[in-house]
Amino acid sequence: MPGTEAEVRHGFRYEFKWDGVRALVAVTADGALQLRSRNGIDITARYPELAGLADAIGRPAVLDGEIVAFDAHGRPSFSALQSRMHLADPTRAARAAAADPVALLLFDLLSLDGDDRLAWPQQTRRAALVDLSIAADGPWSVPPDTDDLDAALTIATDRGLEGVVAKRVDAPYRPGVRSKAWVKLRLARRQEVVVGGWRPGKGHRAGRIGSLLVGVQDASGLRYAGGVGSGLTEQEIAALEAALIPRRDSPFHDAVEHRDARFAEPHLVVDVRFTEWTPDGRLRHPVYLGRRSDKDPAEVVRED
Residue 240 has pLDDT above 80, yes or no: yes
Q: How far apart are CA 180 and CA 3, in angstroms?
A: 8
Q: Where in the sequence of the chain do the CATH 3.30.470.30 domains occur?
A: 19-135
Residues whose CB is less than 8 angstroms from the CB of residue 114 and which lie 6 or more positions away in sequence, other chains included: 29, 60
Average pLDDT for residues 210-235, to the nearest whole number?
A: 96
Cα–Cα distances (Å) from 76 to 6, 71, 276, in that order, read 27, 6, 23
Instruction: Summarize pLDDT for 115-168 with one digit per residue, the tens.
Output: 999 999 999 999 999 999 887 788 999 999 999 999 999 998 888 788 899 999
Residue 3 has pLDDT above 80, yes or no: no
Q: How far apart are CA 14 and CA 130, in angstroms?
A: 16
Q: Where in the sequence of the chain do the CATH 2.40.50.140 domains occur?
A: 190-299
Residue 2 has pLDDT above 90, yes or no: no
pTM: 0.73
Whole-number pLDDT of residue 242: 96
Whole-number pLDDT of residue 161: 84
Active-site annotation holder among 17, 167, 184, 295: 17
Provide the b/e sequence for 39-63 (b: ≥16 CB within 10 Å): beeebbebbbbbeebbebbeebbbb
**180 in catalytic set:** no
Q: How far apart are CA 220 and CA 218, in angstroms?
A: 5
Q: How far apart are CA 1 and CA 250, in angstroms?
A: 29
- N-to-C CA span, the chain: 9
CATH number of 190-299: 2.40.50.140
Tell me phi and psi for residue 233, to 5 degrees.
-95, 165
pLDDT tier, 214 (very low <50, low <70, confident <90, very high otherwise): very high
The answer to whether residues 186 and 17 touch, using CB atoms and an 8 Å cutoff, is: yes
Average pLDDT for residues 65-86, to the nearest whole number?
A: 88
Average pLDDT for residues 185-200, to the nearest whole number?
A: 92
Average pLDDT for residues 12-19, to the nearest whole number?
A: 94
Residues whose CB is less than 8 angstroms from the CB of residue 9 and which lie 6 or more positions away in sequence, other chains included: 149
pLDDT tier, 244 (very low <50, low <70, confident <90, very high otherwise): very high
Whole-number pLDDT of residue 73: 83
Q: How far apart are CA 68 and CA 101, in angstroms?
A: 9
Whole-number pLDDT of residue 74: 85
Average of per-residue pLDDT values in the chain: 93
Residues whose CB is less than 8 angstroms from the CB of residue 250 and which lie 6 or more positions away in sequence, other chains included: 196, 197, 256, 261, 263
Q: Where in the sequence of the chain do the CATH 3.30.1490.70 domains occur?
A: 1-17+143-187
Number of neighbouring beta carbons within 10 Å of residue 9 = 11
Whole-number pLDDT of residue 246: 97
Residue 188 has pLDDT above 80, yes or no: no
Residues whose CB is less than 8 angstroms from the CB of residue 280 and which lie 6 or more positions away in sequence, other chains included: none
The 8-class DSSP code of residue 172 comes to P
pLDDT tier, 77 (very low <50, low <70, confident <90, very high otherwise): confident
- 132 CB burial (10 A radius; 0-12, 13-18, 19+): middle
The answer to whether residues 29 and 60 touch, using CB atoms and an 8 Å cutoff, is: yes
Handedness of CA 173, 177, 183, 185 (dihedral sign): positive
Architecture in CATH for domain 19-135:
2-Layer Sandwich (3.30)
Q: Which CATH number fits domain 1-17+143-187: 3.90.1150.10, 2.30.30.60, 3.40.50.720, 3.30.1490.70?
A: 3.30.1490.70
Share of the chain above pLDDT 90, in %: 72
Beta bridge partners of 86: none
Q: How far apart are CA 124 and CA 143, in angstroms?
A: 16
What's the half-sphere exposure (Cβ side, CA atoms, 13 Å) at 252? 23
Helix, coil or strand: residue 130: helix
Helix, coil or strand: residue 5: helix
Number of neighbouring beta carbons within 10 Å of residue 174 = 12
How far is residue 232 CA from its own chain's centroid?
19
